[in-house]
């Protein structure tokens, strides 16, 4: 028995299990991808409109516009005037190279990219440690993450948040390596991140304390952002585009704040068929049939502070109170982190981690519904946390495991379980950030088993 349970045999069995999980996830995701991922379509339509010099955020499809701009869930003109397109103009520009392809081809490319992003992220983080057991732990977390509802909703809807997680992972890996050449790449990617998600500007806060040490990273980031801002101001179309984007975002925030949807089973929308039997490679009759027969493909929660507050108190938190809570939380944590840096120097992973924790905390506090697919952005932060953990008995490590299990499980007796999982990750990462570096073993240059 002892021979059978040797380290090598355990690793072989673990590899077989992970292979089975990965095959299951790929087959499941291919099936979901056949159901016309709805959010991917609005990204593609938004990119096409923008490429054709049409303002996308207040566009509403008409039969005479043809199939190029057709989106089954693009609502008709309403009192607000906005539609379902919410991605930033910069993200639409990133899709220019593929947006003219048929939707079916784009959908396949996007699915493949999700797995490429996952693979690269695992490779990046396993390359940051010499600890063999820690490498296996990172691989296990990576494969098991495909079982979370966050991953499944992201694939089923064709969302872009795992791309954002990929950017976070690349920036993190570059900064942890702490070498000047990769600081240039980190700065460029950070600018791309902020242009894709403007609220990500808070990630730079931890670097203000010791800005000279990170001067290359900060200089490249702000140089790119400045040049792009100048381009927006001097180009009439880009100027009008971003004004429309900002106005529509304000309206969308108001709509989200007013219309509380709570949590529940996500059902892919089945819109009225305007008469197209095929939409760029998708047989719509089969799509609608599959959607009808699979009414409950995955479970989603809105993990926002204002949603949690309303569920507990049965009252809406005021917009002013929510904004004050958001600002004060970011300010308080930043002050505490600066005090911590003044007393004890922090390792580079802690500084990087704190910047992205601020970003996700701000997202949680915003009055915009965070559907389950938003949770995938935690993935690179969790991998970073695994690099900072010591032994498995530590509280941060146990919280990271708990968060993963809660995001996989669908125990009906435990309300808001996925949101609880996110908060378990948040608490774990904050503990790792504020722990003195002399009590930590990052695994970056050690062979100690976890």
Backbone angles phi, psi at 265, to 5 degrees: -75, 130
Residue ranges in 208-283 assigned as alpha helix (H): 215-234, 236-258
Q: Structure tokens of 232? A: 């927006």
Alpha-carbon Rg for the chain in angstroms: 22
Angle 42-195-166 from CA coordinates, rounded to 5°: 75
Angle 182-186-189 from CA coordinates, rounded to 5°: 140
Which residues is 282 bridged to in the sheet?
279
Nearest C-alpha neighbor of 374 from the set 189, 191, 157, 171: 157
CA–CA separation, 241 and 229 (whole Å): 13
Residue ranges in 98-234 assigned as alpha helix (H): 103-126, 132-144, 149-157, 161-177, 180-196, 215-234
pLDDT per residue of the chain (450 residues) written in tens, 0 to 9: 555 556 777 778 888 899 999 999 999 999 888 888 888 998 999 999 999 999 998 888 887 888 888 887 775 545 566 777 888 999 999 999 999 999 999 999 999 999 999 999 999 999 998 888 889 999 999 999 999 999 999 998 889 999 999 999 999 999 998 777 889 999 999 999 999 999 999 999 999 887 888 899 999 999 999 999 999 999 999 999 999 998 888 777 776 666 544 433 333 343 444 556 777 877 777 777 777 766 555 677 777 888 887 888 878 787 788 888 888 989 999 998 888 877 777 788 889 999 999 999 998 888 777 788 999 999 999 999 999 887 777 889 999 999 999 999 887 777 888 889 999 999 999 999 988 554 444 445 443 555
Reported in sequence order, the residue ranges of 253-360 that DSSP labels E, i.e. its strands, are: 264-266, 278-279, 282-283, 298-300
Nearest C-alpha neighbor of 189 from the set 177, 205, 209, 172: 172
Q: Structure tokens of 13? A: 């069995």
Q: Strand 282-283 and strand 278-279: pairing? A: antiparallel
DSSP code at position 296: -
Q: Do 34 and 64 contact (CB within 8 A), yes or no?
A: no
């Amino acid at each position: 028995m002892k021979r059978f349970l040797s380290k090598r045999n355990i690793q072989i069995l673990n590899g077989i299990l992970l292979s089975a999980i990965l095959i299951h996830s790929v087959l499941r995701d291919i099936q979901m991808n056949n159901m016309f991922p709805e959010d991917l379509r609005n990204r593609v339509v938004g990119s096409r409109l923008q490429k054709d010099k049409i303002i996308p955020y207040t566009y509403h499809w008409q039969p005479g516009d043809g199939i190029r701009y057709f989106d089954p869930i693009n609502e008709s003109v309403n009192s607000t005037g906005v539609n379902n397109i919410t991605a930033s103009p910069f993200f639409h520009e990133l899709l220019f190279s593929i947006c003219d392809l048929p939707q079916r081809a784009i959908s396949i490319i996007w699915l493949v990219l999700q797995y490429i992003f996952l693979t690269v992220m695992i490779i990046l983080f396993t390359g940051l440690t010499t600890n063999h057991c820690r490498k296996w732990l990172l691989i296990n977390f990576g494969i098991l993450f495909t079982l979370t509802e966050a991953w499944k909703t992201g694939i089923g809807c064709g969302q872009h948040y795992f791309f954002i997680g990929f950017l976070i992972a690349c920036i993190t890996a570059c900064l942890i390596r702490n070498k000047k050449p990769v600081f240039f790449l980190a700065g460029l990617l950070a600018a791309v991140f902020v242009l894709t998600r403007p609220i990500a500007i808070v990630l730079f806060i931890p670097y203000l304390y010791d800005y000279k040490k990170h001067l290359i990273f900060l200089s490249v980031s702000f140089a790119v952002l400045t040049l792009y801002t100048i381009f927006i101001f001097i180009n009439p179309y880009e100027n009008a585009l971003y004004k429309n984007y900002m106005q529509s975002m304000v309206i969308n925030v108001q709509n989200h704040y007013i219309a509380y949807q709570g949590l529940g089973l996500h059902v892919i929308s089945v819109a009225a068929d305007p008469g197209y039997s095929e939409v760029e490679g998708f047989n719509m009759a089969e799509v609608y049939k599959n959607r009808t027969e699979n009414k409950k493909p995955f479970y989603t929660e809105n993990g926002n502070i204002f949603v949690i507050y309303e569920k507990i108190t049965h009252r809406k938190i005021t917009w002013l109170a929510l904004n004050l809570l958001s600002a004060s939380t970011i300010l308080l944590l930043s002050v505490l982190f600066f005090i911590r840096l003044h007393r004890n120097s922090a390792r580079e992973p802690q500084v990087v981690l704190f910047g992205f924790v601020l970003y996700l905390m701000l997202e949680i506090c915003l009055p915009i519904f965070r559907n389950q697919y938003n949770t995938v952005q935690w993935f690179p932060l969790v991998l970073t946390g695994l690099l900072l953990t010591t032994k498995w008995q530590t509280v941060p490590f146990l919280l990271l495991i708990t968060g993963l299990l809660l995001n996989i499980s669908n125990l009906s007796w435990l309300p808001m379980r996925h949101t609880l999982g996110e908060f378990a990750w948040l608490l774990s990462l904050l503990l790792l950030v504020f722990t003195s570096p002399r009590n930590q073993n990052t695994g970056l240059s050690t062979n100690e088993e976890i």
